[in-house]
Amino acid sequence: MAKILVVDDDPHIREVVRFALERAGHAVREAGDGRVALARLHESPADLVVLDILMPEIDGLEVCRELRRKSEVPVLFLSSRDDEVDRVVGLELGADDYVVKPFSPRELVARVKGLLRRSRRSCDAATASPGPLQHGRLAMDLQRHRCCWNGEAVALTVTEFGLLHSLCGMPGKVYTRDELVERAYGAGHHITDRTVDSHVRRIREKFRRKGANPVETVYGLGYRLREAGSESEGR
């Protein structure tokens, strides 16, 4: 059972989401706006946050921005507009996935299940891991869900960590977006190329702050981890 915070200014939406998630076995709390959501998360952490974008007081994008300053809790956005810009901006801020309103409760539960599975899989891999992965100046410690560049911590969300770890599986190998989705999200998960690209851009932005760029685009194919020693070159 996961502890989930549902944040939406529409009581009906909160009721639908709560019913679906509780039926799936989760413990659900609610918040009607962003300010209340941040206060509730400060009082008691959640395992996952379902977050509406358009809300009074503090909107979902700002809530996500605040969360990412100190937490890597998985975030699933609810977008009330069929506007890809909203969703991409949300992903750029560090959200892990999104569902567009009106949505199927079954789809939402499936997305939540996928996010929680990735988070738990990361923990399971950490338990089974013999030690940190090292590639040049890049180090990934699965046991602590910690990524470092040249000894400095780089804070990654569950999805970002999973994508980078997938690339670390074979440095230099080109992974298509579909392969990355299957490795990081799991088989049968339908994620658009734009979503993968958004996560990769965010990974790159975080490493650029350290003067590095370990992920290389292979145009027309996908992405690969640069060879050790060349991680500070190119875009």
Per-residue model confidence as pLDDT tens digits over 7-55: 999 999 999 999 999 999 999 999 999 999 999 999 999 999 999 988 8
- CA dist 145 and 59 (Å) reads 28
Instruction: Tell me which amino acid residue 160 is.
Output: E
Mean pLDDT of 78-106: 79
Mean pLDDT of 95-118: 88
Which CATH number applies to 3-119? 3.40.50.2300
Q: What is the pLDDT of residue 108?
A: 94
Q: Where exactly does CATH 1.10.10.10 map onto the chain?
A: 131-225
Q: What is the pLDDT of residue 83?
A: 62
Mean pLDDT of 176-198: 75
Q: Where exactly does CATH 3.40.50.2300 map onto the chain?
A: 3-119
**Length, in residues, of the chain:** 235
Q: What is the pLDDT of residue 44?
A: 93
- CA dist 126 and 50 (Å) reads 26
Mean pLDDT of 182-209: 79
Q: CA–CA distance from 154 to each of 34, 72, 118, 121 (Å)?
A: 26, 12, 19, 20
Does 63 or 132 have the greater pLDDT score?
63
User: Phi and psi dihedrals of 67, rounded to 5?
Assistant: -60, -45
Q: What is the pLDDT of residues 134-168, one digit of tens each?
A: 888 999 887 777 899 998 989 888 888 888 988 88
Hey, is 60 helix, strand or coil? helix
Which one is the CATH code of 131-225: 1.10.10.10, 3.30.1330.100, 3.40.630.10, 1.10.8.60?
Answer: 1.10.10.10
